[in-house]
């Protein structure tokens, strides 16, 4: 039986109940500021193994961990340098997962036998309450089955994980809507292993040199499949390109993932038009991205044409996610 717990009001008895469950080795789907995660006591091997089973996750793909303070960080990680400290001071609590050397207090199963561990203090008060009460580091892989979209809506988390985990915490819709930025420090260089809301330029502002790297254990996982063909429509004449595509593919059930402002242009001509948000509000497009993609996954059509955002800042981040589902199909 899975128990749904509404923690939007941060009721202290319910927080206690969740913390106890974590300490008892139970699995609790939790809100974070980025996306929903599967929480368990990171020091409990059995609980950790259950996460891998439920997610159908490759054993070599390590979990990341959430802590509530530096004492807890010290118990699982070592070799924290001035550079790490500057990143921590600037971005924690928040959506920056930092890779540290790991201590042996953590079971090998958590780290996929790596000698490093990804950690952050999350910027979500509900999950922080639970970690503080449980007094143990909590695992936080995204709450989705491997290869499926991440989840930002507790209702969807319930749909997917009811009967599979012990508790699901409703903390409302996730604030950010995309997984944390992951970084690793090497000498004086900060490598970004996964892009997220904290952008390369945000880190460069601290005076560091930043490089992108795809050297991540989950590399090659096709994380953002919507289960059907998707095509990115590039260039300033995207409206003409979409119109031409519709005219030339009358036998296909066509969908568009486009700006709110273009809805009236296409809605009558296509099978489904999914509004991703306003052309003027990229943050809102990001926040809603996984809902948009889930809607696309559920829709009954053959192909999606996707409008492009401008490739800077948040726009670039959203475009990376779109490219991941388009498999290089571009017109």
Residues 156, 133, 121, 184, CA torsion sign: negative
Q: Which does 99 bind (CB under 5 to 8 A by kind): ligand TXA, Mg ion, none?
A: ligand TXA
Residue 153 binding target from ligand TXA, Mg ion, none, CB below 5 to 8 Å by type: none
267's tokens: 């809605």
Strand partners, 275: 258
Q: Take residue 288 and report the two structure tokens written for it.
A: 């809603």
Q: Is 62 among the residues that bind ligand TXA (CB under 6 A)?
A: yes
Q: Which is nearer to ligand TXA, 34 or 68 (CB)?
A: 34
A 10 A CB-CB count for 187 gives: 8
What would the x/- binding string for ligand TXA be over residues 127 to 166, using CB under 6 A? -------------xxx------------------------
Rounded Cα distance between 6 and 169, Å, is 6
User: Rounded CA gap, 241 and 203, in Å?
Assistant: 37
Query: Which positions touch Mg ion (CB under 5 A)?
Result: 142
Minimum distance from residue 265 beta carbon to ligand TXA (Å): 35
118 near ligand TXA, rule: CB under 6 A: yes
Output the residue with the shortest Cβ distance to ligand TXA: 37
Q: What HEC string does 183-232 produce?
A: EEEECCEEEEEECCCCCHHHHHCCCCEEEECCCCCCCCCCCCCCCCEEEE
Distance from CA of residue 54 to its chain's centroid? Answer: 18
- First vs last C-alpha separation in the chain: 48
Q: Of the candidates 28, 51, 64, 152, which one interacts with ligand TXA according to CB under 6 A?
A: 64
**Which of ligand TXA, Mg ion, none sits in contact with 306, Cβ below 5 to 8 A by type?**
none
Task: Find out whether 34 and 176 touch, Cβ atoms under 8 Å.
Answer: yes
* Number of residues near ligand TXA (by CB under 6 A): 24
Helix-, strand-, coil-residue percentages of the chain, each rounded to 5: 35, 20, 45
State which of positions 249-278 bind ligand TXA (CB under 6 A). Answer: none
Nearer to ligand TXA, 12 or 58 (CB): 58
Binding mask 8-47 for ligand TXA (x = CB under 6 A): ------------------------x-xx-x----------
Interaction with ligand TXA in 191-250: which residues (CB under 6 A)?
Answer: 193, 216-218
Q: If contact means CB under 5 to 8 A according to the sort of partner, which of Mg ion, ligand TXA, none does residue 180 touch?
A: ligand TXA
Nearer to Mg ion, 184 or 275 (CB): 184
Cβ partners under 8 Å of residue 85, min gap 6? none
Q: Which chain residues interact with ligand TXA by CB under 6 A?
A: 32, 34-35, 37, 61-64, 97, 99, 114, 116-118, 140-142, 179-180, 182, 193, 216-218
């Amino acid at each position: 039986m899975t128990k749904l717990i509404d923690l939007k009001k941060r009721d202290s008895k319910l927080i206690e109940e969740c913390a106890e469950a974590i300490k008892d080795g139970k699995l609790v789907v939790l809100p974070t500021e980025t996306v929903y995660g599967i929480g368990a006591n990171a020091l409990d091997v059995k609980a950790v193994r259950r996460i891998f089973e439920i997610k159908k996750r490759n054993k070599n793909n390590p979990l990341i961990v959430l802590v509530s303070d530096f004492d807890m960080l010290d118990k699982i990680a070592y070799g924290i340098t001035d550079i790490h400290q500057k990143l921590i001071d600037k971005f924690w609590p928040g959506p920056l997962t930092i890779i540290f050397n790991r201590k042996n207090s953590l079971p090998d199963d958590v780290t996929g036998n790596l000698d490093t561990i990804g950690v952050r203090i999350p910027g979500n008060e509900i999950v922080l309450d639970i970690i503080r009460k449980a007094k143990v580091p909590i695992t936080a892989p995204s709450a989705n089955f491997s290869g499926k979209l991440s989840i930002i809506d507790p209702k969807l988390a319930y749909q997917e994980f009811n009967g599979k985990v012990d508790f699901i915490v409703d903390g409302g819709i996730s604030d950010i809507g995309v997984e944390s930025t992951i970084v690793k420090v090497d000498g004086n260089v900060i490598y970004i292993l996964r892009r997220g809301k904290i952008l390369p330029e945000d880190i460069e502002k601290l005076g560091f040199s930043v490089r992108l790297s795809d050297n991540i254990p989950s590399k090659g996982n096709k994380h953002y499949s919507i289960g059907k063909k998707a095509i990115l429509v590039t260039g300033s004449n995207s409206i003409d390109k979409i119109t031409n595509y519709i005219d030339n593919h009358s036998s296909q059930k066509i969908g568009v993932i486009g700006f709110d402002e273009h809805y009236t242009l296409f809605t009558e001509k296509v099978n489904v038009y999914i509004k991703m948000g306003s052309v003027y509000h990229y943050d809102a497009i990001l926040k809603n991205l996984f809902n948009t993609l889930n809607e696309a996954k559920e829709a009954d059509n053959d192909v999606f044409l996707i409008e492009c955002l401008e490739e800077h800042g948040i726009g670039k981040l959203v475009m990376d996610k779109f490219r991941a589902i388009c498999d290089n199909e571009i017109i």
